């Protein structure tokens, strides 16, 4: 299956040569990091041949291109994944063995490129994998942040953020492409000039500052098909290192400013997904990468097409959330100002080229930029948005004559703010949600007015994940076992997993399946021992919640329930209790106080429980430090129970839920996001569902009537647990430490509605579902069957399926195969 020139002996030779060339060392003298670099370079060499061949094929076939525009790409490590997709993993492992190295250890040398916060960025990464594997021409476009998402350290139970200098040793899988550099302009003013020749005004931006956007390309290797696509991330450099002309004119200050602009703009990823903070630098980042990406896309199009009116036939810009919405205005600017088009024709092209994905209904995420900030930073782009808005309001008036309320609710510019979601909807041809329930909520609730106006634009694309990373790479034992039983078709056609269903009553198969789970639990237990110094029992139930820390995801409900269980065990020492290990992993946005306090609470509860010898290790709590793609892979493979417990209606889709399912962990969750579809696939009897429905939550939100105090007053278990937040049980007698959390639930002195996320309303039904989990786990054969059926029914949740739906229903791309 390997490229013929990718032979073991040659590969070993290449590694040795690379070590020599890069470090003037022999292989025995090199550090593991140096070996990683040398191995990666040898792998890159193979990739580059395929990359070239892919480019040639694209030039020949001229397929339609999708540009996936995203502020975030949470790629995770590339070496192992590239080897998997080159179908060279086992061979390279052997080759390295022969050289005396362990591939796993070498892989661990790679920094996790963490250019994203959570699900949104990881989805983008899975999509790139599927696009390449399915043979579609796609570019990911983003930012080459010098610092990715912070590294999390836990000190005294608190999260400490440490900068993630992922580029410090050099990243072997990137390629600097200065030949495609683009200038991006900020600030200044717009001079209008009448052009007698055309009879039109020309708009010229003057007095601006600018930076050069320099692309770095990363290869995206398709699975076993020789296709290599490109993730293009933009770095910023000053136009000239030292603007002597300005310096001479005494404008030293300006020259330095320009240099600083370049330095700051790509310095760091905002660690605040789902939360709009209104920072000027963030707006600069957005325009920076969008302007560079769109300029480059147009330049590329013009290289082999004469008529820009054909752009929608050949190009689609997919906007990953509203962060890249500037695309609409920037494309208009290029078509109007640089290509000399009339408004109507430019608008026609733009609205057939841009498409928008919504990832959340959380109001805090809605991007609204103050017009002063916006118009000062992007004067020409702002003018264009004003004109888009003027025309859009006319359209609304036309459709709803005299209806002022519609204008208030739908205008792009209103109340001194530019509303990015409205621009994205008006300026594109598609709006999609990321799970069926989420799309329904968008249509009926959040974006109702827009849905009524443009029903044809709305559609659903339920998220997916790539099985190449989250099964093949993450769980090689299970991957091999599956292939032994049903062949390897599942690697590119995940629904084939359904063939496993025939083993649901096969005792031997079930035992093998659970034995693999056990080995993965041992692997994770070792990691926990090494990283947390906590010993966990691999025979206990591994109950896992890993995801960004946010109140709506309700890590708090989980830990409150652990406190409740602990109370139960203490009160009834004789109680038959199946040993449990509750595992958490989560980063909290640096400025999100309550989320950070929840981390402290989890760690404090862990401290008390893990050190209480009287409970004989029946309960353990582990907070895994620095949750990220690489340790996620270990965690998913080892989980028994998948905690997906968001307040119904709040989690747009979730993708972790799919990764757990694929690895044979049943869902303990609410009917939220893609959980609904997971239950539909696997059957309600193979999941543990509890809690308010989305309709019930929305009803409370719209009509009131929820009173958490009632639960506090009427339920002694709940009261007991909440009192422990303020009586020092978990804070060495400090009554104040967790008071804020207590207040947030009961509103004794806090301003927002008490218990915004309905934790007390769902608590008992959650605890009851947890009891069902325990009972089910005791029946080991029944559990094994349930676990296996989860894997067998995960076929729908491949990002290959998601991407094929985007292609069929939104993008209409052409499939490409590489001719030998």
Catalog residues that contact ligand H2P under the rule CB under 6 A: 117-120, 123, 273-274, 359-360, 434, 463, 547-548, 651-655, 673
Q: Which of 93, 232, 323, 548 is catalytic?
A: 548
Nearest Cα residue to 274 out of 13, 504, 588, 573: 588
User: By C-beta, is 213 or 632 nearer to ligand H2P?
Assistant: 632
780 token code pair: 């080991």
Residue 660 and residue 633 in contact, taking contact as beta carbons nearer than 8 Å: no
Between 151 and 359, CB nearer to ligand H2P: 359
56 assigned to active site: no
d(CA 421, CA 406): 15
Cβ proximity to ligand H2P, 512 vs 551, nearer residue: 551
To ligand H2P, the closest distance from the beta carbon of 509 in angstroms equals 32
Q: φ and ψ at 77, to 5 degrees?
A: -65, 145
Work out how close the CB of 753 gets to ligand H2P at its nearest, in angstroms, rounded to a whole number.
21
H/E stretch holding 347 reads: helix 343-350
183 strand-pairing partners: 212
Annotated catalytic residue within 232, 659, 785, 796: 659
Shortest spacing between CB 654 and ligand H2P, in angstroms: 5
> In terms of CB distance, is 358 or 729 closer to ligand H2P?
358
Give the CA radius of gyration of the chain.
Answer: 27
Residues with Cβ within 8 Å of 494's Cβ and at least 6 positions away in sequence, in order, are 467, 794, 795, 796, 797, 798, 800, 801
Is position 359 annotated as part of the catalytic site?
yes
- Distance between CA atoms of 101 and 40, rounded to whole angstroms? 14
551 and 757 Cβ atoms separated by less than 8 Å: yes
CA-to-CA distance for 208 and 560, rounded, in angstroms? 54
Q: Which of 44, 243, 333, 547 is catalytic?
A: 547
Q: What kind and span of H or E run contains 185?
A: strand 182-186
Name which of 237 and 440 has its Cβ closer to ligand H2P.
Answer: 440
Contact (CB, 8 A) for 268 and 115: no
Smallest gap from residue 757 Cβ to ligand H2P (A): 14
Q: Find the shortest distance in angstroms from Cβ 655 to ligand H2P.
A: 5
Closest listed residue to residue 542, CA positions, set 505, 580, 576:
580
CB contact at 8 A, 362 and 552 = yes
720: exposed, middle or buried (Cβ count in 10 Å: 0-12, 13-18, 19+)? middle
DSSP-based three-state secondary structure for 76: coil
Q: Minimum Å distance from CB 90 to ligand H2P?
A: 32
CB nearer ligand H2P, residue 238 or residue 654: 654
In angstroms, the CA 744 to CA 754 distance is: 6
Closer residue to ligand H2P in complex, CB, 442/726:
442
Q: Is 548 tagged catalytic? A: yes
Rounded Cα–Cα distance for residues 724 and 677 (Å):
37
Catalytic residue, candidates 359, 380, 517, 550? 359
659 is a catalytic site residue: yes
Residue of this chain nearest to ligand H2P (CB atom) = 119
Contact 139, 230 (CB under 8 A): yes
194 beta partners = 201
Options 466, 598, 655, 670, the catalytic residue? 655
Structure tokens belonging to residue 410? 């739908």
Which of 364, 395 has the CB closer to ligand H2P? Answer: 364
Rounded to a whole number of angstroms, the minimum distance from the CB of residue 117 to ligand H2P is: 6
Q: How many CB atoms lie within 10 A of CB 363?
A: 8
Reply yes or no on whether 655 is catalytic: yes
Catalytic hit among 93, 553, 580, 596: 553
Least gap, CB of 653 to ligand H2P (angstroms): 4
Helices in 727-798 by DSSP H: which ranges? 739-746, 759-778, 780-792
Catalytic residue annotation:
359, 547-548, 553, 655, 659
């Amino acid at each position: 299956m390997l490229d013929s020139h990718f032979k073991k002996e040659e590969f070993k030779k290449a590694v040795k040569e690379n070590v020599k060339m890069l470090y003037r060392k022999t292989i025995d003298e090199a550090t593991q990091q140096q070996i990683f670099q040398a191995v990666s370079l040898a792998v890159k060499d193979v990739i580059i041949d395929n990359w070239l061949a892919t480019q040639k094929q694209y030039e020949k076939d001229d397929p339609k291109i999708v540009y996936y525009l995203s502020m975030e790409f949470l790629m995770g490590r590339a070496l192992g994944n590239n080897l998997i997709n080159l179908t060279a993993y086992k061979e390279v492992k052997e080759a390295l063995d022969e050289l005396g190295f362990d591939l796993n250890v070498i892989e661990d040398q790679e920094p996790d490129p963490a250019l994203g916060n959570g699900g949104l960025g990881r989805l983008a990464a899975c999509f790139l994998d599927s696009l390449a594997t399915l043979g579609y021409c796609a570019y990911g476009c983003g930012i080459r942040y010098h610092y990715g998402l912070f590294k999390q350290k836990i000190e005294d139970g608190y999260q400490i953020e440490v900068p993630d200098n992922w580029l410090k040793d050099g990243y072997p899988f990137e390629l600097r492409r200065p030949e495609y550099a683009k200038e991006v302009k900020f600030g200044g003013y717009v001079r209008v000039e009448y052009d007698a020749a055309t009879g039109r005004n020309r708009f010229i931006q003057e007095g601006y500052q600018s930076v050069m956007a320099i692309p770095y390309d990363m290869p995206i290797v398709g699975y076993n098909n020789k296709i290599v696509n490109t993730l293009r991330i933009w770095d910023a450099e000053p136009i000239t290192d030292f603007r002597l002309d300005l310096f001479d004119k005494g404008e030293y200050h300006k020259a330095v400013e320009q240099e600083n602009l370049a330095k700051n703009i790509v310095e760091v990823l905002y660690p605040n997904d789902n939360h709009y903070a209104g920072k000027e630098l963030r707006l600069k980042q957005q325009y920076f990468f969008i302007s560079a990406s769109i300029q480059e896309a147009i330049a590329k199009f013009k290289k082999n097409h004469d008529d820009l009116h054909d752009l929608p036939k050949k190009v689609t810009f997919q906007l990953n959330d509203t962060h890249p919405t500037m695309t609409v205005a920037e494309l208009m600017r290029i078509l109007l100002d640089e290509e000399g088009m009339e408004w109507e024709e430019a608008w026609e092209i733009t609205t057939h080229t841009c498409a928008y994905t919504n990832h959340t209904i959380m109001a805090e995420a809605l991007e609204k930029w103050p017009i002063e900030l916006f118009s000062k930073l992007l004067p020409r782009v702002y003018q264009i948005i004003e004109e888009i808005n003027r025309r859009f309001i006319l359209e609304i008036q036309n459709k709803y004559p005299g209806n002022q309320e519609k204008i208030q609710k739908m205008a792009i510019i209103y109340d001194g703010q530019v509303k990015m979601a409205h621009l994205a909807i008006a300026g594109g041809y598609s709006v999609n949600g990321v799970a069926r329930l989420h799309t329904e909520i968008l249509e009926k609730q959040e974006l109702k007015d827009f849905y009524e106006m443009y029903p044809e634009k709305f559609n659903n694309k339920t998220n997916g994940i790539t099985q190449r990373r989250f099964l093949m790479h993450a769980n090689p034992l299970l991957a091999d076992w599956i292939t032994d039983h049903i062949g390897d078709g599942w690697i590119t056609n995940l629904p084939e997993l359904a063939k496993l269903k025939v083993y649901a009553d096969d005792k031997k198969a079930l035992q093998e399946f659970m034995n693999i789970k056990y080995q993965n639990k041992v692997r994770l237990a070792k990691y926990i021992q090494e990283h947390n110094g906590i010993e966990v029992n691999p025979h206990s139930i591994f109950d896992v919640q890993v995801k960004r820390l946010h109140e709506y995801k309700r890590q708090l409900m989980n830990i409150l329930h652990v406190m409740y269980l602990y109370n139960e065990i203490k009160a009834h020492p004789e109680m038959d209790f199946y040993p449990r290990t509750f595992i958490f992993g989560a980063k909290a946005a640096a400025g999100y106080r309550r989320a950070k306090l929840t981390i402290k609470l989890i760690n404090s509860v862990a401290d008390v429980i893990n050190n209480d010898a009287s409970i004989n290790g029946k309960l353990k709590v582990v907070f895994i430090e620095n949750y990220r793609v690489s340790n996620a892979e270990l965690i998913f493979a080892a989980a028994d129970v998948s905690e997906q417990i968001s307040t119904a209606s709040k989690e747009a889709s979730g993708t972790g839920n799919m990764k757990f399912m694929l690895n044979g962990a049943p869902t303990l969750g609410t009917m939220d996001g893609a959980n609904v579809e997971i239950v539909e696939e696997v059957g309600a009897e193979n999941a543990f569902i509890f809690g308010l429905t989305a309709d019930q939550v929305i009803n409370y939100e719209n009509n009131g009537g929820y009173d958490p105090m009632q639960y506090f007053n009427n339920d002694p278990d709940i009261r007991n647990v909440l009192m422990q937040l303020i009586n020092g049980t978990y804070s060495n007698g400090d009554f104040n430490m967790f008071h804020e959390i207590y207040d947030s639930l009961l509103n004794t002195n806090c301003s927002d509605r008490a218990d915004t996320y309905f934790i007390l309303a769902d608590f008992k039904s959650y605890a009851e579902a947890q009891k069902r989990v325990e009972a089910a786990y005791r029946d080991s054969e029944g559990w094994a069957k349930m676990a296996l059926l989860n894997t067998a029914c995960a076929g729908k949740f491949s990002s290959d399926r998601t991407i094929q739906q985007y292609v069929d229903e939104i993008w209409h791309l052409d499939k490409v195969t590489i001719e030998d």
